Every structure is written in C-alpha cells, then in structure tokens.
Chain A
Amino acid sequence: MAYIVRYSAPILLPILALVGFLFFSRWSLL
C-alpha cells in the first residue's frame, strides 16, 4: 500500500484537486 500512496498523495491528489477546482468551484469551466 505504501508504494501507491507514495505516488497518489503527492501526484494524483493535486491533479484531482485541480480538476475539482476547475469543474466544481465558482470558476467552473462548465
């Protein structure tokens, strides 16, 4: 489990945070 979290925490989560910001914040692209 350590390996995947080692990459998902610093890489995947920020990318998904950006997706969330772009699509679901008040500045949504939708």
Chain B
Amino acid sequence: MVLPFGLLLFLIAAAPLAAPHFWEKYYAHVAVGLGIFTASYYLVGLRETGPLVHAVREYVSFLALVGSLYVVSGGILIRVKGEAKPLTNCAFLLTGAVLANVLGTTGASMLLIRPWIRMNKYRITEFHIVFFIFVVSNVGGALTPIGDPPLFLGFLKGVPFWWPLQHCWKAWLIATLLLLLVFYVLDRRNFLRAPEQVREMETREENWSFEGLVNVPLVGLLLGGILLPFGWREALMIGAACVSWFVTPRRVHEANHFDFAPVKEVGWLFAGIFLTMIPALQVLGANTEAIGLHSSIQFFWSTGILSGVLDNAPTYLAFLAAAFGSAGLNLDTDMPLFIQQQASLLLAVSLGAVFFGALTYIGNGPNLMVKKLRTSKKCIRPTSWPTLCATRLPSCCPY
C-alpha cells in the first residue's frame, strides 16, 4: 500500500514537466483519488479508522495554519528601499532565518516571500526561491519548538523549550552561513549580469514602507493559538484569516498580487499526501528495529532522507521513538533520562528532521506554498524591450 504514495510523489515531480496541461487540469483529481484509494483500503480492507482520523486531524491543523498565515501575511505589504544587492539579499535571508524561530518557518516564509520576490523582481530566478526555501522555510527554524513542527512535537513529548537553542545553535550557524556563502556567489554573478541602468530604473521608485499593519496582532494571535487544543485552534485560525480578509485594504491585496490559487493547490495536493503517507509511516514505524539504527550519524541521515520525501513532523516522531527504543527507554515517560544519556541522538533526529525538510517541495509545509506563490507571480513583467533583454538574461543563467 506504499505504492499510491510513491506514485503521487513521482507525479508531483514529473507530471508538471512531462504532461503540464494534464497535470494543471487534473492534479486535484489525481491527488484526492489516490488518497481515497488508500483511505478505502483502511476502511474496507482493514476496517481500521484510527490512522485515518489521526491523518485527517493533522491535515485540518496543517491547512488551517498554512492557509491562515497565508491570508494574514498576505495582508501585510512590506516595500524594501533600493537595489537588492547580494549582501542585502544575504542579510534579508539571515533575518528570515532568525525570524523563523519566532514566527515559525511557515509564518516567516509567508510574511517574507512577497517582499523577497518584490525586491528582486527584475532578476528573480529559481535559485532565489530555492535558497529562500533552504534558509527561511527550513534550516532557519531549528532553534525553537515554534520554529519547525518536528521540534514542536518534541516539545509536546517533553523536550525543554530552550533545549534546541542550547544544543542546535552551532549546527544552525554553520549550515546557515555556508548556505548564505553559496547563495552570495550565485547571486553576485546574477546581479552583475543586469546592466546598471536597468537596476536603477527598476528600483528608483522603491522606498521603505509598511501597510496592512492591522494584521501584525493577528499573526501574534495565530502563533499564540498554536498552543490551544485541536478544534479551538483551527477555529481561531480561520476566524483570524476572515478578520484579516475583511479589514485589509484592497490596495494591499492588489499590491501583493494576492489570490487563493497557491492555497488551493497546496490543499488538494496535501490531502493526497496526508492520506497516502499513512501506510508509508506505519511501515517505517514497524521496521525501525529491523533497520538496525544505533549511532547518531545513522539517525541523522535516516531521519533526514526520509524527512525530505515524507512530511518531516511524523518522520521525526517515528525516529525519536526508534531512538528511545534503541536506548531501552519509553518515549512517553523517560524524556529527562533520554536527554541526559542520549543527547547526541536527540540532536541527530532534530537536525535531520529540520534541515533535510528542504530537500524537496514536500519535505516541509511552507516549501510548496513558497514555490506556488512564485509561480502565481509570473505576472510581474519587465516594461520595455531593453529591460526585457537585460532581465530575462540573468533569469536564464543562474550560474
């Protein structure tokens, strides 16, 4: 029964390239169809509803969080003054990486992706989006339980709130700085390809400005609401999104090119992913002993690689349970003892789940949303032929 999940992953990767028209028209049917096929197997074949109910609850929570953050952050307009030079871009990404630990990777991504696209509008390429996903949507959020869903699950299981900051900061710093270094090299080459007069022309009217600030307390409300129980939390998030939608001036939504297409696509695709992922996670959970994991490096890589192709939150829990099992401890009762004796295993599972979520678009919730936002913003066009020539060239040549 792992086949529908594998097929869905394959189609998400290959269909937009191999059959773009078919995929654009039928992606929702395919994703939901495969999900219903898996659900039918559990309902009719196994007569088991527990895993399905659990998956549906997780899906509702996921979509409420991502969707509400999308709407609320879409009501905030941030304009950045001047050219987005490579160093400015690096500083922006570093700020995003820090902010990801306060707002969560989803919140920081939704808030910053629009200004990121806007400030680089005349030379944005796929590598700008991909490095944003690497740094802000994933690696950045390794320092607090708010930062990334796997760490929040760890917090709920008893990992102290400040443990990730105290133990992950060195790895966070090394990974973030190395990513920024590579980004700087690529971005500098891209920047130098755009003629100076084009850079000036495209950015001369920009100024620092913030609009839609009524949404800032709503973002705070959403983040505080994460700690509420299921049901209340989702109701609060949907309520905040509705308030944001009605109180935000239209011109802010228009300036942000706001529409619901990315939420819609992420909603359909993840409906299929959450359902088809159930057997894949069960197979993983049932075979952790047989896989024979013992050392930290093994846990780092195995948690990481599977976090890249499965959602990283349940993968974190599966491997945390395996790490407890390998130490002969109980996940529900022995967390203090585990931290005392096996801190290295906890570090390996935490870093693996958070860092490797950036490997693919489905490794972490905000990845696909950021990508979809970029796709839906293709309406931004240079305004004249010289600009067109000068801006399309660097876009075609990221290296």
A interface list, Cβ under 8 A from B: 1-8, 11-13, 15-16, 18-20, 22-25, 28-30
B300 at the interface (CB under 8 A from A): yes
- Whether the pair B361, A4 counts as a contact (CB closer than 8 A) is yes
B interface list, Cβ under 8 A from A: 12-14, 16-17, 126-127, 129-131, 133-134, 170-171, 174-175, 178-179, 182, 295-297, 300-301, 304, 308, 344, 347-348, 351, 355-356, 358-361, 367, 371
- Whether the pair B179, A29 counts as a contact (CB closer than 8 A) is no
30 example contacts (A-B, Cβ-Cβ < 8 A) are as follows A1-B13, A2-B13, A2-B17, A4-B130, A4-B358, A4-B359, A4-B360, A4-B361, A5-B360, A6-B126, A7-B127, A7-B134, A8-B308, A12-B179, A12-B358, A15-B175, A15-B178, A15-B179, A18-B174, A19-B355, A22-B171, A23-B170, A23-B171, A23-B347, A23-B351, A24-B296, A24-B344, A24-B347, A28-B344, A29-B170
CB contacts (< 8 Å) of B301 on chain A: these are 20
- Whether the pair B359, A25 counts as a contact (CB closer than 8 A) is no
B interface, over-half SS: helix
Query: Can you name 5 extra interface pairs (CB under 8 A) apart from A4-B371, A19-B175, A23-B296?
Result: A1-B361, A7-B127, A8-B360, A11-B182, A20-B301
- Whether the pair A16, B355 counts as a contact (CB closer than 8 A) is yes
CB contacts (< 8 Å) of A8 on chain B: these are 130, 134, 308, 358-360
CB contacts (< 8 Å) of A13 on chain B: these are 359
- Whether the pair A18, B296 counts as a contact (CB closer than 8 A) is no
CB contacts (< 8 Å) of B126 on chain A: these are 3, 6-7
A25 to B367, CA, bound (A): 30
CB contacts (< 8 Å) of A2 on chain B: these are 13, 17
- Whether the pair A4, B178 counts as a contact (CB closer than 8 A) is no
- Whether the pair B178, A24 counts as a contact (CB closer than 8 A) is no
Closest residue of chain B to A15, judged by CB? B178
What 7 A-B pairs are tightest by C-beta distance, nearest first?
Answer: A1-B13, A24-B297, A24-B296, A7-B130, A3-B126, A15-B178, A8-B359
A29 to B297, CA, bound (A): 13
Most B CB contacts (10 A, CB to CB) among A1, A4, A15 go to A4
CB contacts (< 8 Å) of B360 on chain A: these are 1, 4-5, 8
A27 to B127, CA, bound (A): 33
- Whether the pair A3, B347 counts as a contact (CB closer than 8 A) is no
Contact with A3, one of B130, B175, B308 (Cβ below 8 angstroms): B130
- Whether the pair B131, A1 counts as a contact (CB closer than 8 A) is no
Most B CB contacts (10 A, CB to CB) among A7, A11, A12, A22 go to A12
A5 to B126, CA, bound (A): 11
CB contacts (< 8 Å) of A1 on chain B: these are 12-14, 16, 360-361
